[in-house]
Amino acid sequence: MADQSTSITPHHLTTSTHCNQLIRSTMFRIASTINRAARPTVSQLAHQATSSLPRNFSTTTPNNMKVLAVLYEGGKHAVEESRLLGTVQNELGLRKWLEDQGHEYIVTSDKEGANSELDKHIVDAEIVISTPFHPAYITRERIEKAKNLKACITAGVGSDHVDLTAANEKGLLVAEVTGSNVVSVAEHVVMTILNLVRNFVPAHEQVMAGNWNVAEIARGAFDLENKVVGTVAIGRIGERVLRRLKAFDCKELLYFDYQALDPQKEKEIGCRRINDLKEMLSQCDVVTINAPLSESTKGMFNKELISHMKKGAFLVNTARGAICNENDIADALASGQLSGYGGDVWYPQPAPKDHPWRKMRNPLGGGNAMTPHYSGTTLDAQIRYAQGTKDIIERYIKGEEQNPPDVIVEKGDYATKAYGQREKKKQ
């Protein structure tokens, strides 16, 4: 079948042949009348030449695109720290670069409701940029009313906030900055595991409150050494988590994934694949979720699946909040089926003030290691994903092929298996 997807036409700054000739002839006349001792620069000549053109003439294309970015608010922190590139205030560092090419750049944090800035500007935007930390939910409804939309770019990793089916139907490019924050997230996972296993949060809260009760904390604190740790999915982040955990002399490192690691990698890491998820969960003292959000993983960790986990296990989720059923997680923690739950991902984001994960506790009064979604937006990660976003846009403008690992969907088809797609659509 022929590809019926919408073609992606880049915008270049162009001039007509006639106007190019006019510029050159005007520059020649100016240059010929100038005293050699006071010869102007080339840029001065160009300015004088273009200033003599008709007022309604533009050296840029009349179809310059609108780029819409939905980022999180940085407030005074972004003013004081310019490396907070992923904020509304610092705009991924893209404004001058885009505007110098004649493109319009709209940056906002307002993304909720029919009257939001997102809904106002997506109507004629050609590119929409969002982040996993303050996601603009690009629904089918929004895609259908976005008549000029050609590309959705994630400044970071994880494009589940885009309706990928609708994006495919419209032939959109959906791309993300693959690998930009995998180290940042992997480190956060290890930190969260240690926080939970060592009962760190209640210990810190205790001393901040002016109290001192070692027994109260120690009764819920363990060593990570000699424990079984498993990851659900072993992509770029899951693999890095296990590599870092190797140093803790865990009893065993396990993974569940539809695709096995290379045997040499398994040997290097010292990990073992389990083909059945429930079997792996039953063996683990600690489980970390590192899978993308897809139709197959949405709501995966519910009451039934959690019942197969070892009683008193710890669960860490830095993947996506919607992979876990929020009420079932809170109930499992309250009952002691889980000793702890931690991570930084919620659904929706920002999380409402009454979200059950904000205040849930285990029977001992601890077990909650939740944070805002910041694991992948360290200052180091922001530099990487800001540059990566620019690279994706630049390739788009020039009509060049995107870096294959960055592409999620393109030309009406999936380019990755990460979101549940197992086979390429037959042509």
pLDDT tens-digit series, residues 84-136: 999 999 999 999 999 999 999 999 999 998 899 999 999 999 999 999 999 99
Asked if the model's pLDDT at residue 5 lies above 70, the reply is no
- Within a domain: 281: yes
Asked if the model's pLDDT at residue 305 lies above 60, the reply is yes
335 and 192 inside one domain: yes
* Catalytic residue chosen out of the listed positions 337, 373, 382, 384: 373
Query: Does 374 count as an annotated binding residue?
Result: yes
The verdict on whether 47 is a catalytic residue reads no
* Catalytic residue chosen out of the listed positions 199, 349, 362, 382: 349
142 and 74 inside one domain: yes
pLDDT band at 420 (very low <50, low <70, confident <90, very high): low
Query: Does 328 count as an annotated binding residue?
Result: no
114 and 197 inside one domain: no
Query: Does 236 count as an annotated binding residue?
Result: yes
Hey, is 366 helix, strand or coil? coil
* Catalytic residue chosen out of the listed positions 89, 90, 181, 317: 181
- Within a domain: 50: no
Asked if the model's pLDDT at residue 167 lies above 60, the reply is yes
Query: Does 344 count as an annotated binding residue?
Result: yes
218 and 364 inside one domain: yes
- Within a domain: 404: yes
172 and 199 inside one domain: no
Amino acid making up residue 1: M
Query: Does 157 count as an annotated binding residue?
Result: yes
Question: What pLDDT is recorded for position 399?
Answer: 96
Whole-number mean pLDDT of the chain? 88
Query: Does 228 count as an annotated binding residue?
Result: no
The verdict on whether 320 is a catalytic residue reads yes
How many residues does the structure list for the chain? 427
Whole-angstrom Cα distance, residue 95 to residue 98?
5
Peptide bond preceding 202 in cis form (omega within 30 of 0): no
Q: Beta 286-289 vs 228-232: how paired, if at all?
A: parallel
The verdict on whether 358 is a catalytic residue reads no
- Within a domain: 185: yes
- Within a domain: 401: yes
Asked which of 334-338, 353-357, 418-422 is least confident by mean pLDDT, the reply is 418-422
Question: What pLDDT is recorded for position 417?
Answer: 76
Query: Does 110 count as an annotated binding residue?
Result: no
Picking from 21, 13, 128, 108, the residue whose alpha carbon sits closest to that of residue 62 is 13
75 and 118 inside one domain: yes
Boundaries of domain holding 270: 181-370
Asked if the model's pLDDT at residue 47 lies above 60, the reply is no
Whole-angstrom Cα distance, residue 317 to residue 309?
15
188 and 310 inside one domain: yes
CA angle in degrees (0–180, nearest 5) for 266-270-274: 65
Asked which of 21-35, 222-236, 330-344 is least confident by mean pLDDT, the reply is 21-35
Asked if the model's pLDDT at residue 367 lies above 90, the reply is yes
pLDDT band at 33 (very low <50, low <70, confident <90, very high): very low
188 and 174 inside one domain: no
112 and 123 inside one domain: yes
Asked which of 27-31, 111-115, 239-243, 249-253 is least confident by mean pLDDT, the reply is 27-31
Ordered alpha helix ranges (H), 56-181 = 75-80, 95-99, 117-121, 140-145, 164-170
223 and 101 inside one domain: no
CB of 321 within 8 A of CB of 292? no
- Within a domain: 8: no
Question: What pLDDT is recorded for position 416?
Answer: 84
196 and 337 inside one domain: yes
Both tokens of 267, joined, read 């040997």
Query: Does 414 count as an annotated binding residue?
Result: no
* Domain CATH code at residue 358: 3.40.50.720
* Catalytic residue chosen out of the listed positions 103, 142, 188, 320: 320
Residues 6+ apart with CB under 8 A from 336: 311, 312, 362, 363
The verdict on whether 349 is a catalytic residue reads yes
- Within a domain: 427: no
169 and 239 inside one domain: no
Q: pLDDT tens for residues 379-407?
A: 999 999 999 999 999 999 999 999 999 99
Q: pLDDT tens for residues 173-218?
A: 999 999 999 999 999 999 999 999 999 999 999 999 999 999 999 9
- Within a domain: 217: yes
Question: What pLDDT is recorded for position 97?
Answer: 98
Strand partners, 286: 229, 314
Name the domain count of the chain. 2
Question: What pLDDT is recorded for position 421?
Answer: 52
